[in-house]
Amino acid sequence: MKMTDIDILSDRKRQINKAGTEGLAMECEKHSLAGAVSQRACVFCGSRVVLYPVTDALHLIHGPIGCAAYTWDIRGALSSGPQLHRMSFSTDLREMDVIHGGENKLYKSLIELIDKYNPKAAFVYSTCVVGVIGDDVASVCARVKREKGIPVIAVHSEGFKGSKKDGYKAACDALLNLVGTLPVDTIPRLSVNILGDFNIAGESWIIKNYYEKMGIRVVSTITGDARVKDIMQAHGASLNIVQCSGSMTWLAQQMESNYGIPYIRASYFGIEDTAKALYDVADFFDDPELTDRARKLVRCEVEKVIPQIKRYSEALRGKKAAVYVGGAFKAFSLIKSLRMLNMDTVVVGSQTGNKSDYEVLKAMCNKGTIIVDDANTLELARFILEKDVDLFIGGVKERPIAYKLGVGFCDHNHERKIALAGFEGMVNFSREVFNTVTSPVWKFVPRRQTKKEVYFD
């Protein structure tokens, strides 16, 4: 049987749609289907992703070893100072702990770790097993907080309690324990928080730099290269700028209702969206000088990068791309960026999109583009073949699917080690795409071979 004949599991049929078709409502925000080999992980994964870059906090994973081992230092979230976030701490529960409860072990672990590493706060992640053995994590945290005098926060991230998205919310709830706990008298009016950028390969630094050049103070970056103290003062900022809406909108909404801080959405992937983000922020403050500075900054940066990008975009004209990423918002930006490279997105999907995200995607894409929620390996392989794409954008788990079929690949996940955000990020992105799509290696790949070598028939 050919891969393109693979049937989509009937329970998943309504999670796949095509641009240009009317009336079909997309199903999404569901728990992953059993046996479907989903590409997405669990609630714990979502909270770990968001909180991971808080560099001077202790991250203790309460449960058996796996959840901690698999998330040890695999992400590219850089720090300009402390490196504590890169350690993998686990209570590593054993049989006796599972039987008698792990509260004592958790308490002892916290005390020892805080004494040794002097963190500014501690996050304690509950994983599945903890959820069923009924440890009272909150009360252990409260006790350690009293004894050690730092915030010790329980993150309710039991894997089975939903999907990755619920983990984002659990992380936001954890952060809300910090926000608003320090005085903010010295913060100027022209000030913002950057939400939902995780400083992968230093991207938060790129963005922060733009705002500072515009004369805007960045109070906190949540959570790329974050410091606990900054988060505690985040309520002093005048505006929240939310990238990665899926993960951080909840935090922004809560801060709006608790502290009256409005928020806007932004994306820093691609020239168009980066420029828009800077203009939107300038517009918000309604300050002609600021708008002027933003305009100058954008012009100057664009002039620098356009000639470089052009070189690549000429070579990439007419190539086809498939995009499968975590958040739908990132997918929007990628479609635009690919367009700038003269490429057409023919498959697009996300792990956590909601109904309106998918509506936007449908409207943005050319007729016939496949739109998919919570895809799995076989579906992705099928779409790659069906649409005969030249490029796949995804994460480490998707890489072999592309490579096995002789298709270029670009890592746009949390594990990437190359900055893809901002104007300079667009140059990196273009180069990445160019290097992979136009590589000479594909001519040897069986699926790409036009004429068969006689010897290997």
For residue 272, CA distances in Å to 10, 269, 304, 339, 438 come to: 39, 8, 15, 11, 25
d(CA 139, CA 69): 26
> Least separation, in Å, of the C-beta of 421 and another protein?
23
Residue 316 interacts with which of ligand SF4, another protein, none, CB < 5 to 8 Å by class? none
- Our finding on whether 32 is near another protein (CB under 8 A) is yes
Among 24, 25, 31, 139, binds another protein (CB under 8 A): 31
Joined together, the tokens standing for residue 227 give 């410091």
Asked whether 195 and 263 are in contact (CB, 8 A), the reply is: yes
Residue 295 binding result from ligand SF4, another protein, none, given CB thresholds of 5 to 8 Å by partner type: none
Minimum Å gap between C-beta 119 and another protein is 13
Nearest to 429 by CA among 347, 357, 333, 353: 333
280, 239 Cβ separation under 8 angstroms: no
Touching another protein, residues 430-449 (CB under 8 A): 444-447
Task: Measure the CA–CA gap between 41 and 406, rounded to whole angstroms.
Answer: 27
Contact 433, 270 (CB under 8 A): no
3-class SS of residue 14: helix
User: Which residue, 67 or 343, is less far from ligand SF4 as judged by CB?
Assistant: 67
Instruction: State the nearest-atom distance from the C-beta of 272 to another protein, in Å.
Output: 31
Q: Of 429, 435, 430, nearest to 416 (Cα)?
A: 429
The residue ranges that bind ligand SF4 (CB under 6 A) are: 42, 44, 63-67, 127-129, 159
Q: Which is nearer to ligand SF4, 159 or 395 (CB)?
A: 159
Query: Near another protein by CB under 8 A, which window of 185-193, 365-373, 399-407, 428-436?
Result: 399-407
Closer of 215 and 406 to another protein (Cβ): 406
Rounded to the nearest whole angstrom, what is the least distance from the CB of residue 229 to another protein in the complex? Answer: 25
Window 51 to 70, contacts with another protein (CB under 8 A): 60, 63-70
Q: What is the closest distance, in whole angstroms, from the C-beta atom of residue 48 to ligand SF4 in the complex? A: 9
CB distance 373 to 358 below 8 Å: yes
Smallest gap from Cβ 94 to ligand SF4, in A, equals: 11
How far the first Cα of the chain sits from its last, in Å, is 20
Joined together, the tokens standing for residue 217 give 């103070």
- Least distance to another protein, CB of residue 221, Å: 24
Footprint of another protein on 7-26 (CB under 8 A): 7, 9, 11
User: What span, in angstroms and rounded, lies between the C-alpha atoms of 349 and 373?
Assistant: 6
Near another protein in 122-151, by CB under 8 A? 128-129, 131-133
Min separation Cβ 180 and ligand SF4, Å: 29
Is residue 433 within 8 Å of residue 316, measured between CB atoms?
A: yes
Specify the amino acid at residue 129: V
Does 108 interact with another protein (rule: CB under 8 A)? yes
Q: Which does 305 bind (CB under 5 to 8 A by kind): another protein, ligand SF4, none?
A: none
Nearer of residues 64 and 76 to ligand SF4, judged by Cβ: 64
Query: Could you give the 3-state DSSP secondary structure of residue 333?
Result: helix
72 binds another protein (CB under 8 A): yes
Site of tokens 């992400």: 75
Which of 19, 28, 41, 214 is in the footprint of another protein by CB under 8 A? 41
Binding of residue 385 to another protein (CB under 8 A): yes
Angle, vertex CA 51, rays to CA 257 and CA 103, nearest 5: 100
**With binding defined as CB under 8 A, does residue 90 bind another protein?**
yes
Nearer to another protein, 241 or 437 (CB): 437
User: Which amino acid would we find at residue 259?
Assistant: Y
Residue selected from 23, 35, 81, 149 as contacting another protein according to rule CB under 8 A: 35
Binding of another protein by 420 (CB under 8 A): no
Q: Are 88 and 71 in contact (CB under 8 A)?
A: yes
CB of 116 to another protein, least distance (A): 8
The count of other CB atoms within 10 Å of the CB of residue 166 is 21
Choices 101-109, 179-187, 207-215, 297-305 (CB under 8 A): range interacting with another protein: 101-109
Q: Is there a contact between 225 and 78 (Cβ–Cβ < 8 Å)?
A: yes
Pick from 201, 228, 230: which is nearest to 218 by CA?
230
Asked if 403 interacts with another protein (CB under 8 A), we say yes
Any contact of residue 400 with another protein (CB under 8 A)?
yes
C-alpha to C-alpha distance for 273 and 333, rounded to whole angstroms = 7
Nearer of residues 170 and 278 to another protein, judged by Cβ? 170
Based on the shown chain and the rule CB under 8 A, indicate whether residue 396 belongs to the binding site for another protein: yes
Q: How far apart are CA 76 and CA 199, in angstroms?
A: 8
What is the 8-class DSSP label of residue 354?
-
310 binds, among ligand SF4, another protein, none (CB under 5 to 8 A by kind): none
Q: Does 40 bind another protein (CB under 8 A)?
A: yes
Among 119, 159, 202, 353, binds another protein (CB under 8 A): 159
Question: Using N-to-C axis directions, what is the helix angle for 288-316 and 422-437, rounded to 10°?
Answer: 10
